[in-house]
Amino acid sequence: MFSKLKSSSISALFLLTYSLILAPWTCFFVMNQPIYLLEWNIINISSCTMTLTIILDMISLSFSNVVCLISGCVMLFSSSYMSHDPFLKRFIWLVMLFVLSMNMLVFISSLPAILLGWDGLGIVSFALVIYYQNMKSLGAGMLTVLANRIGDVMILISIGILVLQGHWIIVSMWDFHLSAYVVLTITIAAMTKSAQIPFSAWLPAAMAAPTPVSALVHSSTLVTAGVFLLIRFFPFLSQSSLFQPSLLFISVLTLLMAGIGANYENDLKKIIALSTLSQLGVMMMSLGMNMVYLSLFHLYTHALFKALLFLCAGMIIHNNLNGQDIRSMGLISKQAPVTAACLNIANLSLCGAPFLSGFYSKDLILETSLASPMSGLMVLLIFLATGMTAAYSLRLSFCSLWSNMKTPPLHAKAEKDPYINWATTVLTLAAVVAGALFQSIFLPFSPEPFILPTMYKFLTIIVILLGLFLSATFWEADFFPKKMNKIKFFFTTMWFLAPISAQPLTKLSMLLGTNLMKSVDQGWLEILGGQGAFASISKSFAMNQKFQIKSFNFFILNMLFFVMMILLLMKI
């Protein structure tokens, strides 16, 4: 066990050291705003060149810093959480490959080379989702990889169209006669990775992965890759008149769908996954309202408190005999006070409680939406989804932390592990402090100052408190009907997206496979294949043998007839 702990701890130490070394360079790039394009000429044969372009700017360095900080904490957590796993080394290699793919995506500015990181994320995430290799994780892995392949194909199509420009450097793109198709393909690619409607079903399904994977993949890396791609391409994408309104509409629908679905969900990890989906909707919404840096700001703060939320959920599941149903939990605040305190801080930050990290980004985005020239219905839906966030966060705490104990009372709740405590403590500090630090960085890039009436200024806090009040009033164990009805099924399946994403594809492939088997394997191949050839040869041999026997008999008869004729002639 010592060697296993040592290997994961070394990788955690490496990632945290890298993040620490990168921090002063990030500060330098934030203060001076330089952009460096480094071009590495790999091969130069005659007039054919192969180059790799690396971009160093504030966005790439800060993103890499946050990703490696969270990855280091997750690896530290895994040192204890996955210590009894027989394939821990394979797990560590997969996670490190995942972090490498994310860094390649962040630092490379050429679209074909971005496919290295983009495809790397898809392939390694598939390997991590199917890590436990049971039927549930294999099904979830197939759904994840198929949804991500749509995005990969869209990136390939955009690379093909951009041949007309003569280059693929993201920061040097301009408008041309096929730019609308490039905008469409890149937006669809980003929507598949960031699980926007109609590609949302894979994100809750991917919770079949180990909890440290969920903390890393579904907080700061895979799901934010789509948002990052749109941020990189934003100067080019915003030239299209339909890009921002359509993105705003889709993101608000995703935000609302995930918020309502999380209130009906009972699986602890799926509730957190749906909250991730909701916050991805907030990031996409801010991009749709032309707030690029606010979207990046919310991406960073969300990554920190969401990773903490997943790690705390992992501890609760681990101490709850690996049960994930929140209806079977209870009184964890008394049994595991440190975990409960960290979970509450992450939940409050998710809701947008004042002076925690989520407040600074989320509140600014919501206030800007009030000041922007947007449809009143959109604003209503945005604030309704914000209230839903507060409601499902309180429901989660009610069911798991403060309700009556439903587990065996003598079951030990372990909180003495230093690896887990250090990981959760670092992320808790980040969830408390990071918002105020990031605000000083991103505030100069926010939109022009605007003045709001006092009622609008307090509207966000009022909506959050109203959501908490309604949750405390209504979300009891017996509030929802026990039996499944159509409305409950509609909301629990994410507006029928989950069955639509999986069942028609499965049914189509099964029918296609059955028909092919009947027509080819049991049909033409039976006639023309090995067995058919054997049967036809055997038949021809049998016919040949019959013919030979008949011809031999005919020959004997002729001979007899000939002899008899000779004998008759001799007598005459």
Residues 460 and 354 in one domain: yes
Can you read off the two tokens belonging to residue 475? 């979300």
User: What residue type is assigned to position 450 of the chain?
Assistant: F
pLDDT score of 80: 84
Q: Cβ contacts of residue 83 below 8 Å, gap of 6+? A: 1, 4, 5
Q: Which domain holds residue 519?
A: 510-571
- Structural domain count of the chain: 2
pLDDT score of 44: 84
Q: Cβ contacts of residue 311 below 8 Å, gap of 6+? A: 73, 74, 77, 211, 212, 215, 342, 420, 423, 424, 427
The answer to the question of residue 440 being in a domain is yes
SS3 412: coil
Residues 325 and 462 in one domain: yes
Please spell the DSSP secondary structure of 128-188, one letter per residue: HHTTT-SHHHHHHHHHHHHHHHHHHHHHHHHHHHGGGGT--BGGG----TTHHHHHHHHHH
Residues 393 and 468 in one domain: yes
Strands (E), 309-350: none
The answer to the question of residue 269 being in a domain is no
Can you read off the two tokens belonging to residue 414? 């372990």
| Cα separations in angstroms, 141 against 45, 127, 244, 256, 531 | 41, 8, 32, 26, 38
Mean pLDDT in order along the chain per 10 residues (572 residues)? 61 91 90 87 82 89 92 89 84 91 90 89 90 87 89 92 84 81 93 89 87 83 90 89 91 91 87 92 91 90 92 86 80 82 91 88 88 85 90 85 68 71 90 87 74 84 88 65 73 80 77 86 73 77 83 85 84 72
Report the distance separating Cα 431 and Cα 434, nearest Å: 6
pLDDT score of 482: 63
Residues 463 and 535 in one domain: no
pLDDT score of 475: 65
Beta pairing partners, 53? 39
| Cα separations in angstroms, 547 against 80, 281, 534, 540, 542 | 81, 80, 20, 10, 9
Q: Cβ contacts of residue 263 below 8 Å, gap of 6+? A: 388, 391, 392, 395, 475, 491
The answer to the question of residue 69 being in a domain is no
Q: Last residue of some domain: 475, 490, 522?
A: 475
Report the distance separating Cα 562 and Cα 568, nearest Å: 10
Q: Cα Rg for the chain, rounded, in angstroms?
A: 32
Residues 461 and 534 in one domain: no
Residues 386 and 531 in one domain: no
Q: What is the Cβ-side half-sphere exposure of residue 230, based on CA atoms within 13 angstroms? A: 33
Q: Residue with structure tokens 């290295």?
A: 116
Residues 376 and 319 in one domain: yes
List the Cα angle 451/453/458 in 5-degree steps.
110
Residues 320 and 446 in one domain: yes
Can you read off the two tokens belonging to residue 241? 């008149």
The answer to the question of residue 538 being in a domain is yes
Residues 378 and 469 in one domain: yes
Residues 467 and 516 in one domain: no
pLDDT score of 107: 92
The answer to the question of residue 193 being in a domain is no
The answer to the question of residue 153 being in a domain is no
The answer to the question of residue 201 being in a domain is no
pLDDT score of 1: 44
DSSP letter at 521 equals I
The answer to the question of residue 30 being in a domain is no
Report the distance separating Cα 399 and Cα 403, nearest Å: 5
Report the distance separating Cα 105 and Cα 102, nearest Å: 5
Closest CA to 40 of 100, 97, 110: 110
Residues 452 and 313 in one domain: yes
Length reported for the chain: 572
Report the distance separating Cα 423 and Cα 339, nearest Å: 11
